[in-house]
Amino acid sequence: SLEELNANFNKLTKLPETIGFELINLKKLAVNSNKLIFLPRSITHLTSLRVLDARLNCLRALPEDLENLINLQILNVSQNFQYLQNLPYSIGLLISLLELDVSYNKITTLPDSMGCMKKLQKLSVEGNPLVSPPAEVFEQGLHAVKGYLSEKMNGGHKSPPKKKSWVGKLVKYGTFSGYTLRGTSNGEREGFFISEYRSIDGLASPRHIGMFSPRRLFSPGRYFTR
């Protein structure tokens, strides 16, 4: 009957392989600030899960079949630093996801499938050596990022487009206003966080956050900026 499990700030190197088959009512799993290398594959059976916080670990990869987490709303796998280099295609099939934080990893490319994430409202990717989408697309905000990935996903069925800048095409979104998106008159809620690290409230003790501040861990030259 367990609905919430908090195992933050320990020295865990692995979770039970059967956790996904046993904690079937789990809604929140917080295992940040450990030494986890992988998350067990059975975790994709936690269909009631709404929050998964696995930041500040040593994750090499995420499980496939993430699309089975049909109720997941918040996913934080940030600050796995040099270990996490790729995101599975299935991450774009999380139909209920509202917030995704993959900042401060080694990710170079976002999966094209993320263009399908209609409910996604907040995306944080700073501190990664991203190549795709390109910087000029990120500067236009979350709408532009999803639009770029969606068109790229369908690109295989089209003839190669003429060389042109995305800036003029995407500037119409007008959702980006510097480092954090602010509310607009039409009630726009979507946003893209570019350089300000924000933890998810309630998942880690505030007194520890300063220890892991990106400003202490990275020189200014390595931030993803405008």
**Region of residue 159 (phi > 0: left; psi between -120 and 50: alpha; otherwise: beta):** beta
CA distance 72 to 53: 11
Give residue-wise pLDDT tens across range 81-120: 999 999 999 999 999 999 999 999 999 999 999 999 999 9
Residue 198 belongs to some domain of the structure: no
In a domain, 73, yes or no: yes
Instruction: Return phi, psi of residue 41, to 5°.
Output: -65, -30
Residue 201: inside a domain, yes or no? no
Confirm whether 223 is domain-assigned: no
Total of domains in the chain: 1
Cβ atoms 81, 61 nearer than 8 A: no
Q: Which residue range is the domain that position 70 belongs to?
A: 4-155
pLDDT tens-digit map of 3-12: 999 999 999 9
DSSP code of residue 109: B
This prediction has a pTM of 0.71
Q: Is residue 160 part of a domain?
A: no
Cα–Cα distance for residue pair 67/63, rounded to 1 Å = 10
Classify residue 99: in a domain, yes or no.
Answer: yes
What is the CATH classification number for the domain harbouring 11? 3.80.10.10
Domain contains 184: no
